[in-house]
Amino acid sequence: MNNVVVQKYGGSSVDSIEKIKNIAKNIIKRKKVDNKIVVVVSAMGDTTDDYIKLAKHITDKPNKRELDALMSTGEIVSASLLAMSLSSLGCESISYNAYQLDIHTSGEHGKSQIDDIDVSKIRQSLDEGKVVIVTGFQGLNDEGDITTLGRGGSDTSAVALAIKLGGKCEIYTDVDGIYFTDPRNYKNAKKLKEIEYEEMLELAGLGAQIMHSRSIELAQKYNIEVYVGLSCGELNGTYIRGGKDMKLEEKIITGLATSDNDVCITIKDFETQNIWSLFENIANKGINIDMISQTAPINNYVNISFTIAKEDLNDCRDIVSRYSKDENIIIDDNITKLSLVGLGMKNTAGVASQVFKIFKEHNINVKLITTSEIKISCAINSCDKQIAINEIGRVFNV
């Protein structure tokens, strides 16, 4: 089944009946070239966000199992509507949800991982000439409960299906490819023809909202080339891939990602002997810590700061409160995480000094910083976000 094409359409691509009908027409055109097509769909538009708001009208801390059950329904609607649109145009199609395909998952509700997908029904339907529509973002755990994969989980579903079916993967969205940074924040951002797995993985994990980081990990592991392009558009998109043909040394910085979805927790006068226990309990709750900063110990006490996703704040605050008095806990949600990524940094000195020079010239304070061979991430005040993007874009967007 080497000719299988797995396409994924995000929420903005299916946010109206008109768009769903247009997607159906384009799928029918594509089927004349590639006969076996599997389509992964997200919920329509802002449906997922709307469902979360509905749940929070009930309670500030909705039960995560029930929240997953609620959010999974959005994709069932869009999958059914797309299948109906295709059928109305004379193209045989069928939609499947997580129950019907046994998309097996494990891990926490709201952020589970795909373990396996039974593709036997998909293969049979493809052999019958049907276009197969699959609900992304969801699966079933060992208890038979619906789980969701977290934000962007439909990307992961699409890549996983491409792997299982031996096909290729195409991600369609409301932008025509991957840019140096979000063109809505920096209008002169240049589109990338291609980007290496490692760079895209960093950008996805740091706030670039084009792709889900776990989908890139899967694509890299199984060497699945991923195309990102405009839904129903004719413009050339961006290829995510690896290999010796990549022109990695042309750019020092490939991309700039920003995220406003993080919060910084600072604990003053924290006992050093409890640091391991604190982070172990946070990890056991499934909360990912990003940046960490610690002062030098004085009489076995330190000030320690770290960032987490805002959605994990309530759970993390409960854990932190076991170790410290409220007056020693500072919550700072006025931060933007700004990250520069590029494989060219491995062999180029002075990138950090250029960034800090920009910050100094514009009175931008850095609250936290982490670095790697191909990444510099800084937490800055949210009010400084736009000028930082503009100036870094001016210097590095070449």
* DSSP secondary structure string for all residues of 316-364: HHHHHTTTS-GGGEEEE--EEEEEEE-GGGGG---HHHHHHHHHHHTTP
| Tokens (6 digits) for 52 | 């979360």
72 contacts 135 by C-beta, under 8 angstroms: yes
Q: Which residues is 179 bridged to in the sheet? A: 191
The SS3 of residue 23 is helix
DSSP3 helix / strand / coil % (the chain, rounded to 5): 40, 25, 35
264 contacts 332 by C-beta, under 8 angstroms: yes
Instruction: Quote the pLDDT of residue 243.
Output: 66
Check whether 397 has a pLDDT greater than 60: yes
Check whether 386 has a pLDDT greater than 60: yes
Instruction: Quote the pLDDT of residue 348.
Output: 82
Check whether 247 has a pLDDT greater than 80: no
Check whether 302 has a pLDDT greater than 70: yes
Instruction: Quote the pLDDT of residue 1.
Output: 43
Alpha-carbon separation of residue 198 from 113, 239, 392 (angstroms): 20, 13, 21
The per-residue pLDDT for range 215-237, each reduced to its tens digit, is 999 999 999 999 999 877 667 89
The per-residue pLDDT for range 340-365, each reduced to its tens digit, is 999 888 888 888 899 999 999 999 99
- Banded model confidence at residue 210, pLDDT cuts 50, 70, 90: confident
Instruction: Quote the pLDDT of residue 246.
Output: 56
Handedness of CA 163, 164, 169, 172 (dihedral sign): negative
Check whether 62 has a pLDDT greater than 70: yes
Give the Cα separation of 181 and 203 in Å (integer).
Answer: 10
| Tokens (6 digits) for 126 | 């493809």
CB contact set of 94 (below 8 Å; sequence gap of 6+): 83, 125, 130, 131, 132, 133
Mean pLDDT of the chain: 91
Check whether 244 has a pLDDT greater than 60: no
Instruction: Quote the pLDDT of residue 204.
Output: 82
How much of the chain exceeds pLDDT 90, in percent?
79
Check whether 248 has a pLDDT greater than 90: no
The SS3 of residue 103 is strand
The per-residue pLDDT for range 177-206, each reduced to its tens digit, is 999 998 889 999 999 999 999 999 888 877
Handedness of CA 231, 151, 47, 139 (dihedral sign): positive
- Banded model confidence at residue 367, pLDDT cuts 50, 70, 90: very high
CB contact set of 234 (below 8 Å; sequence gap of 6+): none
Check whether 290 has a pLDDT greater than 50: yes
Q: Name the amino acid, one letter, at 176.
A: D
Q: What is the mean pLDDT of residues 35-54?
A: 94
Q: What domains can you pick out in the chain, each with its CATH number?
A: 4-174 (3.40.1160.10)
Among residues 186, 185, 183, 157, which one has the least CA distance to residue 238?
A: 183
Instruction: Quote the pLDDT of residue 242.
Output: 84
CB contact set of 1 (below 8 Å; sequence gap of 6+): 36, 123, 126, 165, 166, 167
Give the Cα separation of 180 and 175 in Å (integer).
Answer: 13
The per-residue pLDDT for range 80-118, each reduced to its tens digit, is 999 999 999 999 999 999 999 989 999 999 989 999 999
The per-residue pLDDT for range 158-176, each reduced to its tens digit, is 999 999 999 999 999 888 8
* Polymer length of the chain: 398
The SS3 of residue 374 is coil
- Banded model confidence at residue 250, pLDDT cuts 50, 70, 90: low
